[in-house]
Amino acid sequence: MPRGGSMRAQIGALVIATSFVQLANGFFGTFFSLRVAIENFDAAGLVLSAYFAGFTLGALRCGKIIERIGHIRAYAAFAGLVAAATAVMPLLVGSLAWVGLRALVGFGCAGIFITTESWLNAKAPPAERGRVFSIYMVGTFLALALGQLLIARADIKAAAPFNVIVALFAVALIIVTATRSEQPRVSAAVALPYGVLARAAPIAVVGSGLSGLVTGAFYALVPAWMQGEGDPPTTIALFMLVAVLGGLAFQIPVGRLSDRFDRRIVLASLGLGFVVTALVTVLSPRSLPRLLPEAVLLGGFMSTLYPVCVAYAHDRMSADRVVAVSGRLILLSGIGSVFGPLIGASLMTHFEIDGVFYFMAAAALVLAIVAGLGALRTPAPTHREVPFEILAPQSGPLAHDPLDSPDETNPAQ
């Protein structure tokens, strides 16, 4: 009994610590977009993309670091890296310095999420794993949403917001390193040769990249646009809060539809829903009462594109390649997230925010067409035992990337 209580305490500590991390992340993402707009960097798109570049690199490399030094030391190293890079930012204000520092933040955040989620996967009993991850991801969404509310009280031009972010990461570090726990066992993942996934699930490959384009552009550029329009911080915070909560609200109903019907049809419908909402946002008057319902729909459609792609890819691949498939999709989504702000910022220079929304709508339309044509050409694959899972923006892809993932279908394990 004490052992079970200790395990629950470990899991609880990890969930609470990650909630602090996501509270900081939700605040940092929107704050940083606003601060970059104020600084008026020439390479603003590159600065905004740096986080996603670091995050993608971290998703590829951090697993090896965890295998070498263990989960607790790795968590401390990654959280310390994020805190240090964040603390230096107000001291080195410049586009080149912030590209490097923001990339370090992305790398460290990827490491934190991989460490946490592989730890949860290893420690949670198989019968409770789904419930544990559901609590974890709901906590993630709520923390990201609450992080937006901090924007309303932040002085964007001051160094104080950076200090708040450092403090939140430090709290998470204290919680995890003070936990009495055994190191989870780690094992190498099954290799996945390049080209295998593209042949087996091309829609998931295309969809992961395009969903990254959309989400990267949205979270990096929309807050800056609203600030440029003269919207007060409270309005920006409310818009982004509603978008994140829209993503949370869509997860369960979309997941149920995805598990019951052809995922490609669901994916095409989500893409078309985003296209229509984005066009309505461009063409309709931009008052707050109109923008908030649009934010719910934009966040909802956008946040469910990638999880459906992941679930569809797992339908097409064997169970022993779950981790490898997820890692490959993380890479594709990360690459898309890097290019989204770069392309969007260039379009924003010439066409203002309309160009960004048209760009996101075009990416979603391509995804809808690819998924719809795929559904017409071939029958739907049989859904595997691993169903659609809740994935939060900015971090959720890593929920499918445990370092130690025993095959639950094997009763011997």
- pLDDT single digits (tens) 293-350: 999 999 999 999 988 888 888 788 776 666 677 778 888 888 999 999 999 999 998 8
Which sequence spans correspond to the domains of the chain?
2-400
CA distances from 65 to 46, 62, 68, 108, 124 (A): 27, 5, 5, 12, 22
Q: What distance in Å separates the CA atoms of residue 212 and residue 202, rounded to the nearest whole number?
A: 16
C-alpha of 292 from chain center: 22
Confidence band of 72 (pLDDT split at 50, 70, 90): confident
pLDDT at 320 (0 to 100): 63
Mean pLDDT, the chain, integer: 83
If DSSP codes are grouped into helix, strand and coil, which group holds residue 151? helix
Local structure of 287: helix, strand or coil: coil
For residue 228, pLDDT over 60 is answered with yes
> How many angstroms separate the CA atoms of 82 and 119, rounded?
20
Q: What percent of the chain has pLDDT over 70?
A: 83
3-state secondary structure of 282: helix
> pLDDT, tens digit, for every residue of 114-135?
888 777 777 767 666 667 777 7
DSSP 387-407: ------TTTGGGGG--SS---
Contacts of 171 (CB under 8 A, 6+ apart): 17, 20
Measure Cα distances from 23 to 19, 147, 159, 167 in Å.
6, 5, 18, 11
| Residue 211: closest CA among 92, 326, 384, 340 | 340
* Amino acid, single-letter form, for residue 287: S
At 179 the pLDDT is 72
Question: Which of 54-68, 128-142, 192-206, 290-304 shows the highest mean pLDDT?
Answer: 290-304
Residue 326: closest CA among 136, 46, 117, 147 = 117
Quick check: 204 and 307 in contact, CB under 8 A? no
User: To the nearest 10°, the Cα dihedral for 71, 76, 78, 80?
Assistant: 180
* List of long-range contacts for 123-131, beta carbons under 8 Å, 24+ apart: 123/7, 123/10, 123/11, 123/181, 123/184, 124/11, 125/7, 126/406, 126/408, 129/408
Element (H, E) at 108: helix 95-123
| Through-space distance between the first and last CA atoms of the chain, rounded to whole angstroms | 22
Cα distance between residue 107 and residue 91, in whole Å: 20
One-letter amino acid for residue 398 of the chain: L
Give the H or E element holding residue 272.
Answer: helix 263-283
What was the pLDDT predicted at 386? Answer: 55
DSSP state of 284: S
For residue 105, which of 411, 402, 394 has the smallest C-alpha distance?
A: 394
H helices of 40-70, in order, are 44-69
What class is the 2-400 domain?
Answer: mainly alpha
User: Contact, 271 vs 254, CB < 8 A?
Assistant: no
- Whether the model pTM is above 0.85: no
Instruction: Select from 343, 104, 315, 120 the least CA-distant residue to 213.
Output: 343
The Cα–Cα gap between 206 and 313 comes to 11
In which band, very low, low, confident or very high, does the pLDDT at 406 lie, cut at 50, 70 and 90?
Answer: very low
Residue 321 DSSP class: G
pLDDT at 300: 93
Dist CA 161 CA 276 (whole Å): 36
Give the contacts of 21 (CB within 8 A, at least 6 positions apart).
Answer: 79, 109, 112, 113, 143, 168, 169, 172
Name the phi and psi angles at 275, rounded to 5: -60, -50
Alpha helices in 124-262 (DSSP H): 129-149, 160-177, 196-200, 202-228, 233-260
Summarize pLDDT for 261-302 with one digit per residue, the tens: 888 999 999 999 999 999 999 998 878 888 899 999 999 999
